[in-house]
Chains A and B, each alone.
Chain A
Amino acid sequence: MAIVTGKQVGLTGNSAIAYAMRQIDPDVCAAYPITPSTGIIEEFSSYYADGQVSTELITVESEHSAMSACVGASAAGARVMTATSSQGLALMWEMLYIASGMRLPVVMTVVNRALSAPINIHCDHSDSMGARDSGWIQLYSETVQEAYDNLLQAVRIAEDPRVLTPAMVCMDGFITSHAVENITLLADGEVKGFIGDYKPGRSLLDTDNPITMGAMTLQDVYMDFKHEQSMAIAGAKEVVVEVGSDFGRRFGRHYGLMECYRLEDAEAAIVVLNSAAGTTKVAVDELRKKGKKVGLLKPRLFRPFPYAEIAAALKNVKAVCVLDRADSMNGFGGPLFSEVRSALYGLASVPKVMGRIFGLGGRDYTVEHSTAVFEGLYRIIETGRMEELTGYLKS
């Protein structure tokens, strides 16, 4: 379903991800359809049916089995991919920890959607935020282009021998997955050259050198395995930067840990993930025209959380609002808020930080909302008072 204009192609987020998966041509893909990520597996199934991929496609009977089959295939040494959303990710929850604990570099697209109840098929981040402690790398994508580029990079990051950790690439349900954007695709050969071959260090299919995987561990060693895993994920930050730089060198689109938009001299800043960053950029530009020093910080990498870099980027800002598209239900603000605020704690001069929950279940987030948030931040700067530390965005 491509609309071609010059070098650019009009694709939905789902089509771009399916296209990237065709180019990556994983050994095994195991998936179960769920709105709004269904289109990814539908289009990939077409590539499979037409013989355009060498992948073994396993159309499993549930998301739990999807991730279980991914674990089996990855343990066999295969390059493995899948995609899901919402309840599907929730059903995989048990297996997410097993994939990461066994250090299997599965790559998954998560098309963000609200969790039931009430049932809702539209965007928020309660699904991937629920998986934030599962030991997966999490990359967030503002646009279709970023989702496409992130997926290609995720393969290299996850499979890096220093990392060997599964990775999920998140994009907003419907807003990004179903909207057509003009993007620049790489040639198949460029993708192959960038991701390289996956050379697993071990495989269940090496019957001459049998290994036991998933053994039971007790009090003597379990914690040491977890410590090693935690260190490896922390080290992934460096690899994300390396891979992002190499991607930029090769293809001209540079990626780091976050995007700072007009943040250098900003007094007031919004921190937000995924597509809402695009809306916020419009508000920033409009307010900048009126002389307001406002800016945006959009984390790209949420796991591992680049707390030092985020603190450094916000250290000169006077007031910050962290927008969370997920509520951690009576925690101290949303998940992004509590981590950003905690990251700022060690600064010599800590900005005022407020948190707002927004956009749940696909509720619109407009330029007006963004502008109102900045106005609120200016009131804090002017009066020194914050009336409401955390809460829901008025909409």
Chain B
Amino acid sequence: MATLKELAAKDELFSGGHRLCSGCGIPPIVRLLLRSAGSPVVATSATGCLEVGTSIYPYTAWRIPWIHSAFENAAATISGIESAYRAFKKKGRIPADKEIKFLALGGDGGTYDIGFQALSGALERGHNFLYVCYDNGAYMNTGIQRSSATPLGSATTTSPAGAKRPGKQEWRKDLTRVVVAHNIPYAAQASPHNWRDLEGKARKAFNVAGPAFMNIISPCPLGWYSKPEDSINAARLAVDTCYWPLYEVENGILRVTYRPKEKKPIADWFKIQGRFKHLFKPENSHLLDETQKRIDAEWQRLLDMDGKAVF
């Protein structure tokens, strides 16, 4: 486990001056990831906030080789890069002792939705790469449209808080579980507020042989209608309310990596975000209740599985 001091002493591979919003969760996530790899990293990003915010020509925030190709294909793109690496190693065009890590990054749009097929395919094929989803719960880059990661009741521009339909009407997809069902060596959920947990998971994920996946909650002041200075606290509350449990599945064994001392009510997380404002009206209280019930059940399910084999 690296100390904060050790981490801070490492090269900054993701430079400042990028155009991501103040209070955005993505930069601290990417900076931690790149510090955890231990070897040179080649990365790709799906179209989205991270890509747009870091690459406007002729500037780049990336001090590592990086490519953006399209929205739905980060996992397929990294498959090609990693295959070229294996081909070159076999042919001696890359020295046998040189190790490169491969990282694909996408938002929830590029991962849960449009890029889901490419992700599933790449996981099944067993490429040696880490896929990281920065989950901010909607298509934030294009102006806050709902995704399959958007929480129940959340207001987005395509699921607005209307008189008849108060925000998103569907429960979110549990992508981490779906990924775990691919039987890959490592999958985890993490949060940028808990850097120690995130860094340790990233280090494991980079070092397993085969595909690894991390789903990382990423606060978005723009789409959550929250204050930029509250972002890290918002991430903490998502975890302390057990909306976003921190856990990992390593070689089939599930482990809850953080148990809040005091599990907070979901309303504590909702009330600092404008996207849930309408849920506090009496006529919408059923959505708040349903959310709390499902979160409780899901948390209990994880606790019951802690330390056990999931497949």
Contact = CB atoms under 8 A, between A and B. Distances in A.
Interface of A: 27-28, 30, 54-56, 58-62, 64-66, 68-78, 80, 94-95, 98, 102, 203-207, 210-218, 221
Contacts of B21: none
B80 A69 contact: yes
B85 interface: yes
A78 B84 contact: yes
Nearest to B61: A212
A195 to B, nearest CB: 16
Most interface-central of B63, B83, B85, B91 (chain A CB within 10 A): B83
B8 interface: no
Given A211-B65, A214-B67, 5 more contacts: A72-B67, A72-B76, A72-B83, A74-B80, A210-B64
Contacts of A210: 62-66
A76 B81 contact: yes
B55 A78 contact: no
Contact of A216 (B51, B84, B94): B51
Contacts of A54: 87, 90-91
A27 B87 contact: yes
A216 B69 contact: no
7 contacts: A68-B77, A76-B42, A80-B80, A98-B70, A212-B55, A213-B66, A216-B57
Given A68-B118, A214-B55, A217-B57, A205 B81 contact: yes
B71 to A, nearest CB: 9
Contact of B64 (A58, A71, A207, A215): A207
B84 A95 contact: no
B52 A73 contact: no
Contacts of A207: 40-42, 64-65, 100
B59 to A, nearest CB: 8
A61 B84 contact: no
A56 B128 CA distance: 14
Contacts of B100: 205, 207
Nearest to B118: A65
B136 interface: no
* 3 nearest A-B residue pairs (beta carbon): A72-B80, A61-B121, A69-B80
A72 B81 contact: yes
A205 B88 contact: yes
A64 B72 contact: yes
Nearest to A211: B65
Contacts of B88: 27, 76-78, 205
A58 B83 contact: yes
A321 B88 CA distance: 50
A72 B70 contact: no
Most interface-central of B84, B88, B120 (chain A CB within 10 A): B84
Interface of B: 40-42, 44, 51-52, 55-58, 60, 62-70, 72-73, 75-81, 83-88, 90-91, 94, 100, 117-118, 120-122, 124-125
A215 B51 CA distance: 8
Nearest to A207: B40
A70 B63 CA distance: 24
Contacts of A94: 70
Contacts of A95: 69-70, 73
B3 to A, nearest CB: 26
A221 B75 CA distance: 28
B128 to A, nearest CB: 12
Contact of B117 (A30, A62, A80): A62
Contact of A204 (B52, B60, B65, B121): B65
Contact of B76 (A69, A78, A203, A214): A69
A22 to B, nearest CB: 15
A213 B75 CA distance: 16
Contacts of B62: 210, 212
A66 B73 CA distance: 10
Contacts of A205: 42, 65, 81, 84-85, 88, 94, 100
A213 B67 contact: yes
Contact of B79 (A30, A214, A217, A218): A30
Contacts of A28: 80, 83-84, 87
Contacts of A102: 69
A261 B14 CA distance: 60
A218 B124 CA distance: 37
A62 B88 CA distance: 25
Given A61-B118, A68-B80, A72-B81, A214 B65 contact: no
Contacts of B72: 64
Contacts of A58: 79-80, 83, 125
Nearest to A220: B57
Contacts of A65: 73, 75-76, 79, 117-118, 121-122
Contacts of B70: 68, 94-95, 98
Contacts of A213: 66-68
A59 B83 CA distance: 11
Nearest to A210: B65
Nearest to A72: B80
Contacts of B68: 213-216
A70 B79 CA distance: 9
Contacts of A217: 56-57
B56 A215 contact: yes
B66 A73 contact: no
A213 B70 CA distance: 12
Nearest to A26: B87
A74 B87 CA distance: 12
A73 B83 contact: yes
Contacts of A27: 84, 87-88, 91
B83 A69 contact: yes
A71 B91 contact: no
A58 B84 CA distance: 10
Contacts of B87: 27-28, 54-56, 73, 78
A58 B78 CA distance: 12
A61 B117 contact: yes
A71 B77 contact: yes
A60 B100 CA distance: 22
Contacts of A75: 67, 80-81
A381 B122 CA distance: 61
Nearest to A61: B121
A76 B118 contact: no
Contact of B118 (A64, A73, A214, A221): A64
Contacts of A215: 55-58, 60, 68
